[in-house]
């Protein structure tokens, strides 16, 4: 049976159980048990057309209905075994007859629940991947490079935290988008492509809600993902944007992302993800690095600064100013920022190199390498420092 189909059905099946009265933690466990049962039973199910369909529970005919029925039975079995059996006996009598699942789709509410403000960002990400994405605890643990038992505890705590939250309360779209962006930025690890998974979940969210910032995030993800193949060399080393082979960029993803962004911007409800996507689109539109419209990129960073006043945005703006107005203008913009910001030393090194101060640039590249958050970035910055030191002594 297609695992992608199972994962796509997970959130809607889960929301049906919650609507019927199951608490979130118990419902999620029951759905996972139903998925295991589906993997066991469905590979032997006949393909469509091989015989007349007579059973209303035929998983091939109505996969969602089958999963709902099995998950609900799993939930009831667990309920019967619970110490509070007598208080829940009514639910046993109310078991719905097998058949097509109801058309109501509460997937959007499930997104809100998994990104509930009471959860830490790490817990919200894990719960979203488990309940909405349909990933196993093992897959999520491998993706985040933590032991499976640690991830299981994190997910269990998150489920307990949101178990009492009602489904009929409006959620915060901005919080959901931040969680999805956190997933996207994890990239790829283990056997799960988290960037692709984040895009899939954001597409699903965009189908459930008409919101320009959801479209903006989807466009941003597509435009960044389009450059993925060109970001690393065959030896695994990082390739800076200016040095990437643009022929390796995915033009189909760029076209789709730009189209989604243009539609969102036309609604005149600008948000931070739309502004970030606009910057990514300008990079994607440039045939070469030299032809990048840095003046317009600075203008978009100004918009983004007004929307968020985020110091990391100001750091990136300093780079853009350095490209548009010269390295000294970029260094002046950088001087207003806290030097402890992540990647501050790397930006300063780049701007000093462009200004011709190779000694300072080499020192700052080495400093930035020491503070790098990952091995690939550290190696790249170390090579930059070595390159400049070699040039200075030639």
pLDDT at 174: 87
The two three-digit tokens of residue 132, written as one number: 């909405």
Q: For the segment 56-84, what is each residue's pLDDT rounded down to a tens digit? A: 445 557 888 889 888 888 888 887 766 55
Structure confidence at residue 225 as a pLDDT band (50, 70, 90): very high
The DSSP secondary-structure symbol of 193 reads E
- The structure's pTM equals 0.76
CA distance 290 to 207: 38
Answer for the pair 191, 248: CB distance below 8 angstroms, yes or no.
Answer: no
Answer for the pair 204, 131: CB distance below 8 angstroms, yes or no.
Answer: no
The DSSP secondary-structure symbol of 132 reads I
The DSSP secondary-structure symbol of 128 reads I
Answer for the pair 53, 45: CB distance below 8 angstroms, yes or no.
Answer: no
Residue 192 sits at φ, ψ, to 5 deg, of -120, 125
CA distance 260 to 193: 23
pLDDT at 100: 53
Classify the C-alpha dihedral 158-159-163-166 as positive or negative.
Answer: positive
More confident residue, 183 or 100: 183
More confident residue, 328 or 76: 328
Each as own residue / partner, the long-range contacts of residues 364-373 (CB below 8 Å, 24 or more positions apart, any chain) are 368/343, 371/342, 371/345, 373/342
String of DSSP letters for 119-158 = S-HHHHHHHIIIIIT---HHHHHHHTTS-HHHHHHHHHHH
- Worst-scoring range by mean pLDDT, 97-101, 104-108, 175-179, 372-376? 97-101
- Average model confidence (pLDDT) for the chain? 85
What's the first-to-final CA gap in the chain, in angstroms? 63
Answer for the pair 374, 237: CB distance below 8 angstroms, yes or no.
Answer: no
Q: For the segment 356-391, what is each residue's pLDDT rounded down to a tens digit? A: 999 999 999 999 999 998 898 999 999 999 999 999
pLDDT at 102: 47
Structure confidence at residue 23 as a pLDDT band (50, 70, 90): confident
Q: For the segment 135-149, what is each residue's pLDDT rounded down to a tens digit? A: 888 888 887 778 999
């Amino acid at each position: 049976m297609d695992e992608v189909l199972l994962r796509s059905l997970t959130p809607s099946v889960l929301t049906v159980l919650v609507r019927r009265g199951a608490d979130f933690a118990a419902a999620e466990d029951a759905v996972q048990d139903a998925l295991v049962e589906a993997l066991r039973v469905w590979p032997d199910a006949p393909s469509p057309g091989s015989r007349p369909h007579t059973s209303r529970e035929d998983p091939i005919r109505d996969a969602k209905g089958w999963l709902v029925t099995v998950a609900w039975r799993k939930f009831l079995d667990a309920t019967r075994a619970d110490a509070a059996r007598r208080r829940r006996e009514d639910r046993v009598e109310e078991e719905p007859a097998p058949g097509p699942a109801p058309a109501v789709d509460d997937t959007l509410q499930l997104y809100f629940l998994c990104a509930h403000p009471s959860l830490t960002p790490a817990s919200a990400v894990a719960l979203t991947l488990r309940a909405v994405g349909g990933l196993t605890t093992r897959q999520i643990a491998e993706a985040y490079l933590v032991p499976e038992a640690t991830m299981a505890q994190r997910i269990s705590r998150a489920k307990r935290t949101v178990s009492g939250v009602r489904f009929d309360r409006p959620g915060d779209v901005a919080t959901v988008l931040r969680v999805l962006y956190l997933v996207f930025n994890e990239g790829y690890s283990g056997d799960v492509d988290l960037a692709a998974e984040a895009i899939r979940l954001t597409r699903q969210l965009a189908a459930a809600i008409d919101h320009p910032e959801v479209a903006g995030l989807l466009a941003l993800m597509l435009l960044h993902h389009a450059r993925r193949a060109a970001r690393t060399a065959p030896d695994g080393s990082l390739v800076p944007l200016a040095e990437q082979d643009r022929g390796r960029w995915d033009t189909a993803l760029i076209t789709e992302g730009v189209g989604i962004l243009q539609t969102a911007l036309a609604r005149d409800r600008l948000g931070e993800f739309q502004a970030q996507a606009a910057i990514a689109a300008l990079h994607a539109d440039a045939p070469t690095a030299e032809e990048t419209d840095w003046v317009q990129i600075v203008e978009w960073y100004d918009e983004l600064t007004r929307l968020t006043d985020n110091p990391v945005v100001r750091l990136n703006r300093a780079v853009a100013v350095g490209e548009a107005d010269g390295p000294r203008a970029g260094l002046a913009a950088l001087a207003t920022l806290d030097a402890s910001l992540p990647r501050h030393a790397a930006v300063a090194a780049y701007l000093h190199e462009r200004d011709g101060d190779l000694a300072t640039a080499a020192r700052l590249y080495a400093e930035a390498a020491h503070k790098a958050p990952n091995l690939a970035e550290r190696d790249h910055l170390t090579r930059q420092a070595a390159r400049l030191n070699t040039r200075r002594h030639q």
